[in-house]
A = this chain, B = another copy of it.
Amino acid sequence: MNTRERLINVTSDLIRKKGYFGTGINEVLKQVGVPKGSLYHHFPKGKDELIREAVYWGGESQMQKYGNALKGKPAEEGLSDMIDVMVNELINSNFEDGCPIAAVAMASGTIDEEIREACAKVFVGWQNNLAGYLERRGIDNAQVKAEELYSMFEGAYVLSKAHRDVKYLLLQKKFIGTILNS
């Protein structure tokens, strides 16, 4: 990775732990090992531009992980394995790594509107991917069901992180069939 990519990568890791306000530029620069001028060289608009790029980066990385979990499987099995991606990320990070987008999206309304739009675009991308996946498996009302499954999983991700307990994510597996067959 070049310097620009390393700045984005480190920021992407920090925002999923601490959100927009908790992510300090000095911490990013320190972790990457570059001086402050490097930030403005690569991101002329500063912190907000860097965070926006990190939202896209984190979103695309997460989409790849979900895609790998879903690939080639029947819907219920694929969705169950997608939940395990979130479960494993929480466990492996000692419950620090939640949804890479939600911690930033939480503060939308009080932060740069372009960052909020980036979060919304990532969420829509995930939902549309999931809707396509369900459609290809013959599920009716795939778009609505994809949006519903996303709400469920997103909420369970928040609750599991807050409780330091993956039971909320695992509970979703019981209701996948209920939603798909509704």
**Proximity bits, A138-182, B CB within 8 Å = 1, else 0:** 000000100110111111111101111000100110110011001
| Interface presence of A107 (CB below 8 A) | yes
For residue A105, give the distance in angstroms from its CB to the closest CB of chain B.
4
**Proximity bits, A88-109, B CB within 8 Å = 1, else 0:** 0000011110100111011111
The distance in angstroms between the C-alpha atoms of A32 and B62, with both chains bound, is 42
| Interface presence of A46 (CB below 8 A) | no
**Stretch from A1-9, A12-20, A33-41, A71-79 forming part of the interface with B:** A12-20
The distance in angstroms between the C-alpha atoms of A144 and B179, with both chains bound, is 16
Residues on the B chain within 8 Å of A164, using CB: 108-109, 116, 120
For residue A142, give the distance in angstroms from its CB to the closest CB of chain B.
14
Q: In the complex, how many residues of chain A place their beta carbon closer than 8 angstroms to a beta carbon of chain B?
A: 50
The distance in angstroms between the C-alpha atoms of A179 and B175, with both chains bound, is 8
Using A106-B103, A155-B154 as known contacts, say yes or no to A148 and B162 having CB atoms under 8 A apart: no
Of B19, B98, B120, B151, which is within 8 A of A152 by CB?
A: B151
Q: In the complex, are the beta carbons of B161 and A147 less than 8 A apart?
A: no
| Interface presence of A43 (CB below 8 A) | no
Q: In the complex, are the beta carbons of B120 and A163 less than 8 A apart?
A: yes
**Proximity bits, A105-119, B CB within 8 Å = 1, else 0:** 111111000001001
Q: In the complex, are the beta carbons of A163 and B110 less than 8 A apart?
A: no
Besides the contacts A106-B158, A124-B163, what 6 more A-B pairs have beta carbons closer than 8 Å? A19-B103, A108-B161, A148-B172, A151-B156, A151-B172, A154-B159
